[in-house]
């Protein structure tokens, strides 16, 4: 005699298996270890520090700019 199965349960099982397969693919494609994440963060911090060390504090545009209120008074 054939085994009686619940079709709703079978659909749910198939859906879960499909989702698990997709999740495994995503983990392989996008997953990074904690060490890799920390290394990336450290490199980003280091490059930000180097960049901020080379920023000019007083640019000529800021030194010679006339504030908007003074511009209206002089004109």
For residue 57, the model assigns a pLDDT of 74
Question: pLDDT tens digits, residue range 50-71?
Answer: 988 888 776 665 555 566 665 5
Question: pLDDT tens digits, residue range 12-35?
Answer: 999 999 999 999 999 888 888 889
pTM of structure: 0.44
Cα gap 46→38, rounded to integer Å:
12
Residues in the chain: 75
What residue ranges do the domains of the chain occupy?
Answer: 7-51
């Amino acid at each position: 005699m054939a085994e009686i199965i619940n079709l709703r349960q079978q659909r749910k099982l198939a859906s879960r298996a499909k989702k698990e397969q997709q999740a495994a693919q995503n983990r392989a494609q996008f997953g990074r270890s904690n060490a890799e994440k920390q290394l990336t963060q450290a490199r980003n911090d280091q490059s930000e520090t180097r960049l901020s060390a080379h920023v000019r504090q007083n640019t000529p545009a800021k030194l010679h700019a006339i504030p908007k209120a003074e511009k209206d008074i002089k004109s």
